[in-house]
Structure 1
Amino acid sequence: MASEAVNRNFIEQVKESRKKIRDCFKRSHEALQLRESILLSRIDEIEEDYNDKTQEMNSLVEALNKEMAQATVTLSANKLAEAHKQISSIIENKITELTADTDSSIKFEWNNQFETDIGQLGSIMLNGQTNIPPTRTFPPQVKPVVPDYKVKLLPTAYCCKRSDNKAPGELNVPRGIAVHYQTGNIYITDRDNNRVQVFSSNRDYLFMFSEKMNKPVGICISQNKVFVTQVQGHCVNMYELEGKLIRSVGGEGNGEVQFYHPQGLDTSDRNSNVYVCDRDNYRVQILTEKLKFNSMLGIGLFNNPRDVKVTRDRVLVLDGSDPCMFVFNSDHVLINRLITRGIGKQTNNPIRFDIDRDYNIIMSDYSDHCVSVFNQEGEQIHKFGKKGQGIGEFYNPFGIVLDNTGHIIVVSDKNTNCLQFF
């Protein structure tokens, strides 16, 4: 009998324990629901309060701006400064007050059991093997606009009188031309005047510079630096955009950072190296951005390297003896050879070139007095100009460049108006 009583007592205790546990969790659940409701309600209040205070702040700023505008009209300079100081102080105090109110209204206390290590929430990582493409495929000198070569290209403007004197804006045997694409300014090497002249995109004369120049011919611009080759000085100069000489390197010879009649040059947007056509040493010298020796290109290949253009993945070198265009990849491995003389005599005496975004090649032909356009396979797709002094005619065209609006700019050696825009 005693054992039966004990069993009944144990069973009753188990039932009571289960009931207490259920009641406890029920009350806890109800309390959590109530807490959730309170917190959500508080969040709504904070959001509404924040919106109200934001509106109040905007109204205050608008009112203060109106007051400041009125003060500008009515107050003297001294009073205006004092009013501006007072108004600024009022704004700062009000912002501090509203910020403090907002900050204090959104503080929450969380039980430690709800804290989560942020590292457990996951992260975003770049795998070391991920191939991230460059932000730009082409350097700044490759233009965003491709001219319409299917239509007849006619000059839109011409300027710069050819003259033997040294008047500003007049040219005597111009050679190289480059455009600074942020400002649109045009830089021209005025060879026999031993200077570089600079014009605006509207063709207005701006200024010139001539420090340490001996027959300047090639020119290129990289961001805020101008690089110029001196054909008689056998050197390369680096200038600020305003014309202040930064550095000059070189001298006649065939060693490293020595040149013999250097011609066109260009800079690499990928590594800031400077590629210089060392014409009568039959090579391209590659210098660092500080004009220190880096390497050589085309030893045993070139006979008359005249101009070079560098993109993210290619280096193009114009050799005038065949004539032909050597195409290298970014590792300086020869991958193609374009525009040979061949059938139809596509080019007679190519002298300078530029490239557009689609790798079309726009080339000046000094002896045929014209401009030819080739696609990247070397096929001639357009040709314009003929010998003459008229508009749209050339007499020994030399430097050529595309500006950032897609205009082709050509500077001619012996034209009455040396500079023409197409």
Structure 2
Amino acid sequence: MATAEVDLSFITQIKGSRKKIRDCLKKSHEALRLRESTLLSRIDQIEKDYNNKTQEMNSLVEALNKEMVQATETLSANKLAEAHKQINEQTAETGSSIEFEWDNQFETDIEQLGSIKLNTQTKISPTHSFLPQVKPVVPDYKAKQLPIACGCKNDIHKKVPGELNGPRGIAVLNQTGDIYIADYCNHRVQVFSSNGDYLFMFSEKMNKPIVRARRELIKSVGSYGNGKVQFYYPHGVDVSDRNNNVYVCDSYNNRIQILTQELKFHSILGIGMFKYPRDVKVRRDRVLVLDKSDPCMFVFNPDHDLINRLITRGDGKQTNKPLRFDIDRDYNIIMSDYCSHCVYVFNQEGEQIHKFGKKGQGIGEFYYPFGIALDNTGHIIVVCQKNINCLQFF
């Protein structure tokens, strides 16, 4: 019987190969685990270094901020001390003094104060001094029956400085209290001190001025029409204390045109609302427009959304012909009534809280009152077109 012979060397070779493969896989797995451990350790070190650098940077930024604050405080204090020294030296020469009311707004304006330059020609007086952002007061309207002062004559024949002919618009420069009056029929603007003394005038290229003007003509804009930066009998004007945009009552076009500080067209307010806008005031978070319609006072928010319409009527009747108005810090409305020859005061809900004046030429009387303004000290200033004493202070 024949027997089969098995080559066991082949099996041995297979087993040897399998062992080598297992050993190689084991070594590869260990190498991968070592590589993974090295990478994780490296990542941990990078994260740790990043956190340390971040903390170091934050510490540097904090230290830099402290140094900047200290430097700013030192610089501001030095500028304030220098400006105060200059003012004290000047007031000592003129025999007068200035007292500043410190508040947060003044602190923010310290850079402006630090840039003041005084010289021997500078005159400092109670009516001509630098007043840093004086906060307007709310007047006691019940006390406004008789004027505390009268100033300038109404002269229809002469153009003597300090005399007016048909005055209309009026504006008060808050920093000094100087009063700018549009001398309508004399084609000029005259400027008076806060107590009514004539200061100077300017009249370049003015044809029956009504609105506010500067001492020197910087730029003129507009033409007749109803397009952009065109006007049809522009009336009242005001400048926003938020962005310096200029609001113009484009009266016969029944709209308010808004121009940028550079007198470029910005937008139009009140299309389809107004019948004849006469005056406008822009204060903080409100825009108020006096219109010929009834109710006559429109109130807008800064985005020009209509938020209210006020019925400003006096003594239970509609005012005869309101032409100009001003507002105090509580949004009370002080309004001149041209044909009723009086001044009305309404609260921000449109309710009458005071009235003073009557037709006449005497003290505390009005003959066609037109321009009206409220200064920072609470005085109401009124100009009348036909009063003998056409400028009165209440």
Mapped pair 1:119 → 2:58: yes
Give yes or no for contact 1:143–1:406 (8 Å, CA) kept in 2. no
Letter in 2 for 1:420: Q
- Equivalent of 2:344 in 349, 372, 388: 372
Where 1:418 maps in the other structure, the secondary structure is strand
Offset at residue 322 of structure 1 (A): 2.6
Q: How does 1:329-340 map to 2 (within 5 A)?
A: 329-340=301-312
CA distance, structure 2, for counterparts of residue 150 and residue 186 of structure 1: 24
Offset at residue 320 of structure 1 (A): 2.1
Offset at residue 152 of structure 1 (A): 4.8
- Equivalent of 1:185 in 157, 163, 178: 178
Mapped pair 1:268 → 2:207: no
Who is 1:389 aligned against? 361
Could you report, residue by residue, the CA deviation over 1:243-287 in whole angstroms, capped at 9, with x for unpaired residues?
A: 211100011111100101100100001111000000001000000
Give yes or no for contact 1:199–1:205 (8 Å, CA) kept in 2. yes
- Equivalent of 1:156 in 148, 158, 182: 148
Who is 2:290 aligned against? 318
TM-score, normalised to structure 1, is: 0.62
- Equivalent of 1:413 in 361, 371, 385: 385
CA distance, structure 1, for counterparts of residue 258 and residue 368 of structure 2: 29
CA distance, structure 2, for counterparts of residue 257 and residue 142 of structure 1: 34
Offset at residue 151 of structure 1 (A): 3.3
CA RMSD of aligned residues (A): 2.4
Who is 2:228 aligned against? 256
CA distance, structure 2, for counterparts of residue 396 and residue 245 of structure 1: 30
Could you report, residue by residue, the CA deviation over 1:16-67 in whole angstroms, capped at 9, with x for unpaired residues?
A: xxxxxxxxxxxxxxxxxxxxxxxxxxxxxxxxxxxxxxxxxxxxxxxxxxxx
- Equivalent of 2:299 in 314, 327, 345: 327
Where 2:152 maps in the other structure, the secondary structure is strand
CA distance, structure 1, for counterparts of residue 151 and residue 315 of structure 2: 36
Distance 1:292 1:152, change over 3 A: closer
Mapped pair 1:172 → 2:165: yes
Where 2:354 maps in the other structure, the secondary structure is strand
Give yes or no for contact 2:301–2:307 (8 Å, CA) kept in 1. yes
Letter in 1 for 2:166: V
Letter in 2 for 1:302: F
Q: How does 1:18-417 map to 2 (within 5 A)?
A: 117=56, 119-120=58-59, 123=62, 144-164=136-156, 165-219=158-212, 227=213, 239=214, 243-322=215-294, 324-341=296-313, 344-417=316-389
Could you tell me which runs of 5 or more consecutive residues in structure 1 were left unpaired when the two chains were aligned. Answer: 1-115, 126-133, 220-226, 228-238
TM-score, normalised to structure 2, is: 0.66
Where 2:309 maps in the other structure, the secondary structure is strand
CA distance, structure 2, for counterparts of residue 277 and residue 143 of structure 1: 27
Distance 1:142 1:418, change over 3 A: farther
Offset at residue 323 of structure 1 (A): 5.3
Distance 1:342 1:162, change over 3 A: closer
CA distance, structure 1, for counterparts of residue 179 and residue 309 of structure 2: 31
> Aligned residues, how many?
275
Could you tell me which runs of 5 or more consecutive residues in structure 2 were left unpaired when the two chains were aligned. Answer: 1-54, 66-103, 107-131
Distance 1:285 1:270, change over 3 A: same
Could you report, residue by residue, the CA deviation over 1:222-252 in whole angstroms, capped at 9, with x for unpaired residues?
A: xxxxx4xxxxxxxxxxx3xxx2111000111
Offset at residue 385 of structure 1 (A): 0.4
CA distance, structure 2, for counterparts of residue 245 and residue 310 of structure 1: 23
